[in-house]
Structure 1
Amino acid sequence: MLAPVRVSVDKDLCIGAGQCVVTAPEVFDQDDDGIVELLTDSPAEGDRDAVKEAEHVCPARVITVDG
């Protein structure tokens, strides 16, 4: 069994590209200014690949995934 996924974001460095929302909409959203909003810091196992992809495609590298 895989360890649970833990996600964190650095909102101060977010540039609002929105790639995280497109890649993992169950985990990420954007506020009215386009800045990342983390919907859950413990996504479901089924979202693991999408969350890791969101970490990879973020141009500002503000997403950290552990697990």
Structure 2
Amino acid sequence: MTARELRVDWPECRARGLCHEVLPDLIDLDEWGYPIVRGPVTPDLMSEARVAVRTCPRLALRIVDAR
């Protein structure tokens, strides 16, 4: 299985923090409310990662193959 990660589209992100609410095990927020992704999307977190992507009101979060 290919490693996966979350990627933030910084120009689109408006720091609403919904991704952190859905996926606090993987996403922290900085002091301004922007997401800090702490690591790859593990298989046990994939379901929540998909919900976080769908929940983003600006569509600024996506799941991609890890580099």
Question: What's the TM-score bracket when you normalise by the shorter of the two chains?
Answer: 0.7 to 0.9
* Unaligned ranges ≥5, structure 2: none
Alpha-carbon distance in structure 2 between the residues aligned to 1:29 and 1:12 = 18
Q: Percent identity?
A: 18
Alpha-carbon distance in structure 1 between the residues aligned to 2:12 and 2:31 = 16
Aligned length: 65
Q: Indicate the SS of the match to 1:13.
A: coil
Q: Indicate the SS of the match to 1:12.
A: coil
Partner of 2:37: 38
**CA drift at 1:11:** 2.6
TM-score, normalised by the number of residues in structure 1: 0.81
Alpha-carbon distance in structure 1 between the residues aligned to 2:60 and 2:22 = 15
**CA drift at 1:43:** 1.8
* Unaligned ranges ≥5, structure 1: none
Q: What one-letter code is carried by the residue in structure 2 that aligns with 1:46?
A: D
**CA drift at 1:3:** 4.0
Partner of 2:58: 60
Alpha-carbon distance in structure 2 between the residues aligned to 1:29 and 1:60 = 18
